[in-house]
Chains A and B, each alone.
Chain A
Amino acid sequence: MNGNEEVYFQFKSSPQIDIGKPVYLKDIAHISCSDALRFNIENIQILPQMFNKSYAVKAVDITQLIRDNMENITVNLLGKENVLIDPKLKEKHSIMTIFTIVMASLLLFIGAGLAIMYFHEDVNMHETHRDIYELVTGTKENRPLIISIPYSLGLGLGIAIFFDVFSLDKKRSKPGPLEIEVYKYNKDIEDYKLSIYDEK
């Protein structure tokens, strides 16, 4: 090997690792180097077969691995200094998944319904609707359904507006609040796992 070769690498933000397969460097990092070296470097094995367990991989270890495998090489890191390997089973569309989805939907369906009934009782919504009816028309009405039914439909419309479900199928310019929440939630879990597994 002539002279000093430079290698740059950058950890992928969320590497996709399948359970039961060994992890190679190309799975967890983007690499910039000369073509002669590329194949050798990309196929350095980082970890043997993955089980259902998370690992934090440090940049120092990667650097050491590359230097062990090749001589006369300068390794440079770009970006963050460690990455979480979180192996997952390949998602299958089994009956079980559909069952869980149906159960989760039922849970949310009934839970949301109960919550809105509790809320109506709690804030005396029936009295409020009677008051509004009297306020607008000037006559009393014990069952002002003319306001309650549109109100109920509006409730659904309001939730639809909040989660922006009208533009679900289209490619939208901004992510909805739910996507942000899911992203933040995943990010928090990843940060936590990184800080825990870092010591091992």
Chain B
Amino acid sequence: MKYIICILLGLSGGLVVGGGLVAFFTLLGVISNILKFTKTEIYPKVGELSVLIGALVASVLYLFEIKLHINRYFLVFLGLLAGIFIGIVASALAETLDVMPVVADRLNIIRWVYIGVFAIMFGKVFFSIIYWLTLGFSH
């Protein structure tokens, strides 16, 4: 009986978290953005499946504490992809709040709004690297 309740709890919890994850990415248009950039919009199923398999594999690897023993330079590739994804999520999230149009309009420089993109881009990269080199791994 105990086990049945545990299984039910885990299943429903996973269902909610998984649904939430996909709903979040879809709402922000992350998946469609990546498909658009790689010009693979004609295969939307690929995007869906990738997110599904990715989430599944990651949770299995994480929960069962599996060690893969791959060459460490593979991490460069992995880190780059992770960064691109977080970058897209972060800018999609910021844009739902209209930060840049509002700032540019208030300061009357709406024609120069793309300078803001570059400022944010370099700001994020610069401060991120500073963070990792100094504070990031100190605790």
Contact = CB atoms under 8 A, between A and B. Distances in A.
B100 A181 contact: yes
Interface string B68-85: 111111111111111111
Nearest to A88: B108
Interface string B91-111: 110010011111111011111
A136 B107 CA distance: 48
Interface size class of A (residues with CB under 8 A): 35 or more
Given A116-B124, A158-B86, A165-B117, A108 B103 contact: yes
Interface string A112-135: 111111011000011000111111
A105 B79 contact: no
Interface string A155-167: 1111111111100
A182 B110 contact: yes
Prevailing SS type, chain A contact patch: helix
Contacts of A115: 90, 124
Interface size class of B (residues with CB under 8 A): 35 or more
Contacts of B101: 178, 181-182, 185
Interface stretch (B3-11, B14-22, B45-53, B59-67): B59-67
A152 to B, nearest CB: 4
B114 to A, nearest CB: 7
B136 A148 contact: yes
B123 A162 contact: no
Contact of B87 (A104, A138, A144, A156): A156
B43 interface: no
Contacts of B132: 145, 148-149, 151-152
A168 interface: yes
B123 A158 contact: no
Given A136-B72, A144-B75, A185-B105, A154 B81 contact: yes
B114 A168 contact: yes
Contacts of A105: 115-116, 118-119
A157 B123 contact: no
A143 B137 contact: yes
A153 interface: yes
B123 A112 contact: yes
Given A115-B124, A137-B70, 8 more contacts: A107-B103, A116-B124, A137-B75, A158-B86, A161-B84, A163-B117, A164-B37, A185-B105
21 contacts: A106-B119, A112-B127, A113-B126, A116-B123, A126-B137, A132-B75, A135-B67, A137-B70, A143-B137, A145-B133, A150-B76, A155-B83, A156-B83, A156-B87, A156-B121, A159-B121, A162-B95, A164-B37, A178-B114, A185-B102, A186-B105
**Shortest beta-carbon contacts, A-B, top 7:** A158-B87, A154-B83, A113-B127, A150-B79, A109-B123, A112-B123, A152-B128
